[in-house]
Amino acid sequence: MTKEEKNQVIEKLSEKLAQNEHFYLTDISELTVEDSNRLRGVFHEKGIQIEVVKNTLLKKAMEKVEGKDFSELYDLLTGPTSILFTEVGNEPAKLIKTFRKTYPKPVLKAAYVEECVYIGDNQVDKLIALKSKNELIADIIALLQSPAKNVIGGLQSGGNKLAGILKTLSEK
């Protein structure tokens, strides 16, 4: 790879890192070509981009991004590394856990989700538990609707009781 090609790769990676709020660093080595293609297909269906990267180029790209601190990830850039870019922070973790029910990999090295760094494969369950922006909005809307529903329900049930009492009194 020429120096110019390396600079192009660094530039593309730094643009992706700057634009994406969520990415995962994984190790998918030792998967057969068939299994690797199956994994890529699963990720592609969910809109997750996967790229095998050279650690030195990725580190240079991380250093180039302004406004984000990736320094915690530098020590993890050893051995084979694949990077997953995603719109939904917890989706790759869900797919990794599902895929590992039948295959030994991918192994999570680290994840960068909403400016938080999660290091190690033991973080997969924590990442799965994270709620996406849409899930949080839905929870907030449900919480806001709850008091109104309780008031309306109380008024409706109270009205029925009152009507029943009046009817009973009028019949006597």
Count CA atoms closer than 13 A to 112's CA, side-chain side: 22
What local confidence, expressed as pLDDT, does residue 151 receive? 61
Nearest-angstrom CA–CA distance, 151 and 144: 12
Mean pLDDT score, 47-63: 93
Q: How would you classify residue 128: left for phi > 0, otherwise alpha for psi between -120 and 50, otherwise beta? A: alpha
Under the banding of pLDDT at 50, 70 and 90, the label for residue 154 is low
Measured CA distances, 134 to 18, 56, 90, 137, 140 (Å):
22, 35, 12, 5, 10
Confidence of residue 34 (pLDDT cuts 50, 70, 90): very high
State residue 149's pLDDT score: 67
Q: What is the pLDDT of residue 138?
A: 82
Query: How much is the pLDDT for 164?
Result: 66
Sorting pLDDT into bands at 50, 70 and 90, what band is 141?
confident
**DSSP E strand boundaries for 15-138:** 22-27, 49-53, 81-86, 107-113, 116-119
State in Å, rounded, how far the first CA of the chain is from the last one: 98
Return the structure tokens found at 150. Answer: 């309780």
Say if residue 118 is exposed, middle or buried (CB neighbours under 10 Å; 0-12, 13-18, 19+).
Answer: buried
